[in-house]
C-alpha cells in the first residue's frame, strides 16, 4: 500500500545523515561522562557537546553560551517561563489563547501558585494577533516586570507572528519577550543577533533530528540571572543540571546544520506542495474551509489547516487505513479523539465546529506531490 506521511508538524523522520552521525558516536568509544574532564574519555564527550553547541550557534548566529540543551520543547518552555517568574521576578505575563499547551498550562500554573497576573491578547477569527491590544496592555503595566510569551509560528494553523513589531513594543515598554520558535528553528532561517527575542525554544524532532533533545536560546545579558529549576550539578552553565544527552545533542546539531544548508530550497518546495494541496482541495472538495491564515503567505508553508465538510470523529482513522497520516492538531493535545483543539475552538465559527472536522496537514522534506494526490484520492473515496 502507498503511504503518505503528512504530519510533519508533530514530528519529522530522521535524516539518514543524522542517524549515521549518532551511530558513529555510539560506536567510537564516546561513552565518557562529559563532566569527567579529568580523563580523555570525559573530555572527548565534553568536546562533542561543545563542538555541537558551536555548530548550532553558528547556524542561528548566536553566542555558544546562549544555547542551553534540554529534553525538548515542553521542558524548554517550562524552564523559561518558570525561571522568569522565580528569578526575574516577573509579575505580569501577556500571552495569547492559541499558544501551545506547554506555554498555556505553565502560565496558568504560575498564576495560581505565585500570584502572577495573566492577560490574553486579543486574537481575531483568523488567528491574527491584535498589536494595538498588545500595546494597550503593555502600556497598562508599564514599569512593572512583564514577560510577553507569543509563538513565532502557530503549530496548528501556521500563522506567522510579526515578531519585529512585537519586539519593538516589548523594547518600548521594557518587557521581556519569550517566543516558542519550535516550528521555525531548524526549518527556516533565523538570525538571533537581530531577532527581537530574549528567549526562544527549539526541538530537534521538528527538523529531522532525534526526539528527546532540544535547546533554549537565552540572550547573553540574561544568562547570569537564570537559575536551575532542578538542583544538581553545574551542567549547561548551571541552568539545566544533569548529564547531557550527548548522542541527542550531536544528532540535533547535525540536523540543524543539514537544514541550514538548504533553507531556500526547503521553503521553495514547501510552498509548492502547499499551493498544490490548496488547489487540489478546492478543486475536489466542495465547501472546504481553511483555518487561520494557512492559505495565505502570512503562514509558514509547511502547515495547512482545514475544515473537512463532514462531521466524522473517525475520519483520521479512515485516512490512516488508506495510507495517509494526518492529524487534527497538536500531538501534545490529541488524546481525546472527539475534542477539538483549543486553537480551533477559539478561532472557528461555531457552525463549522458542529458540522465539520478539523484537519492539520503538514508537509516535510520527504514529501512529494504524489503524497498530496494520495490524500485527495482518499478524501474522494471517503466522500463517495
Percent of the chain with pLDDT over 70: 97
DSSP β-bridge partners for residue 359: 306
The model's pLDDT over 364-379, given as tens digits with 9 standing for 90+, comes to 999 999 999 999 999 9
DSSP β-bridge partners for residue 209: none
Q: Cα torsion for 139, 143, 149, 151, to the nearest 10°?
A: 50
Domain ranges of the chain: 4-13+263-383, 16-260
The model's pLDDT over 63-100, given as tens digits with 9 standing for 90+, comes to 999 999 999 999 999 999 999 999 999 999 999 999 99
**Closest by CA position to 148, among listed 157, 158, 135, 160:** 135
pLDDT, mean of residues 354-371: 96
Those residues whose C-beta lies under 8 Å from the C-beta of residue 216, and which sit 6 or more positions away, are: 67, 68, 70, 76, 79, 80, 199, 200, 201, 202, 239, 240
pLDDT, mean of residues 239-259: 97
Which pLDDT belongs to residue 338?
62
* Averaged pLDDT score across all residues of the chain: 94
Dist CA 227 CA 238 (whole Å):
7
Residue 202 — φ and ψ, nearest 5°?
-145, 150
The model's pLDDT over 293-344, given as tens digits with 9 standing for 90+, comes to 988 999 999 999 999 998 988 999 999 999 999 998 665 555 555 678 999 9
Which pLDDT belongs to residue 333?
55
Q: What is the CATH number of domain 16-260?
A: 3.40.640.10
Q: Is 332 a catalytic residue?
A: yes
Residue with cell string 533554549: 216
Domain 4-13+263-383 part of CATH 3.60.20.10: no
Instruction: Burial-class residue 326 by CB neighbours within 10 Å (0-12, 13-18, 19+).
Output: buried
pLDDT at 226 over 70: yes
Residues in the chain: 384
Amino acid at each position: 500500500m502507498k503511504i503518505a506521511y503528512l504530519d510533519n508538524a508533530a514530528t519529522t523522520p530522521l535524516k539518514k545523515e543524522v542517524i549515521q552521525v549518532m551511530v558513529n558516536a555510539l560506536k567510537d568509544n564516546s561513552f565518557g561522562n562529559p563532566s569527567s574532564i579529568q580523563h580523555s574519555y570525559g573530555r572527548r564527550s565534553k568536546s562533542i557537546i561543545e563542538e555541537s553547541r558551536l555548530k548550532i550557534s553558528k547556524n542561528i548566529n548566536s553566542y555558544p553560551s546562549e544555547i542551553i540543551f534540554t529534553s525538548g520543547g515542553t521542558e524548554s518552555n517550562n524552564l523559561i517561563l518558570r525561571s522568569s517568574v522565580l528569578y526575574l521576578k516577573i509579575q505580569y505575563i501577556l500571552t495569547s489563547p492559541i499558544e501551545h499547551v506547554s506555554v498555556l498550562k505553565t502560565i496558568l500554573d504560575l498564576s495560581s501558585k505565585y500570584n502572577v497576573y495573566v492577560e490574553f491578547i486579543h486574537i481575531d477569527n483568523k488567528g491574527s494577533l491584535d498589536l494595538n491590544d498588545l500595546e494597550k496592555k503593555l502600556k497598562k503595566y508599564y514599569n512593572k516586570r512583564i514577560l510577553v510569551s507569543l509563538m513565532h509560528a502557530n503549530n496548528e494553523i501556521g500563522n506567522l507572528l510579526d515578531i519585529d513589531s512585537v519586539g519593538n513594543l516589548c523594547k518600548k515598554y521594557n518587557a521581556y519577550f519569550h517566543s516558542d520558535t519550535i516550528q521555525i528553528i531548524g526549518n527556516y532561517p533565523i538570525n538571533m543577533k537581530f531577532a527581537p527575542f530574549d528567549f526562544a525554544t527549539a526541538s530537534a524532532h521538528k527538523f529531522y533530528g532525534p526526539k528527546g533533545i532540544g535547546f533554549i536560546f537565552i540572550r547573553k545579558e540574561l544568562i547570569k540571572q537564570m537559575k536551575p529549576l532542578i538542583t544538581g550539578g553545574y551542567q549547561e552553565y548551571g541552568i539545566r543540571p544533569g548529564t547531557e544527552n550527548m548522542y541527542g545533542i550531536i544528532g540535533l546539531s547535525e540536523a540543524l546544520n543539514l537544514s541550514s544548508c538548504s533553507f531556500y530550497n526547503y521553503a521553495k518546495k514547501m510552498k509548492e506542495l502547499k499551493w498544490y494541496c490548496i488547489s487540489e482541495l478546492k478543486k475536489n472538495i466542495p465547501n472546504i474551509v481553511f483555518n487561520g491564515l494557512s492559505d495565505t503567505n502570512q503562514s509558514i508553508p509547511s502547515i495547512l489547516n482545514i475544515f473537512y465538510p463532514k462531521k466524522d470523529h473517525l475520519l483520521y482513522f479512515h485516512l490512516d487505513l488508506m495510507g495517509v497520516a494526518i492529524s487534527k492538531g497538536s500531538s501534545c493535545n490529541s488524546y481525546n479523539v472527539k475534542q477539538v483543539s483549543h486553537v480551533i475552538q477559539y478561532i472557528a465559527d461555531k457552525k463549522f465546529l458542529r458540522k465539520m472536522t478539523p484537519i492539520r496537514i503538514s508537509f516535510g522534506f520527504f514529501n512529494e506531490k504524489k503524497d498530496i494526490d494520495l490524500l485527495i484520492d482518499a478524501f474522494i473515496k471517503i466522500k463517495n
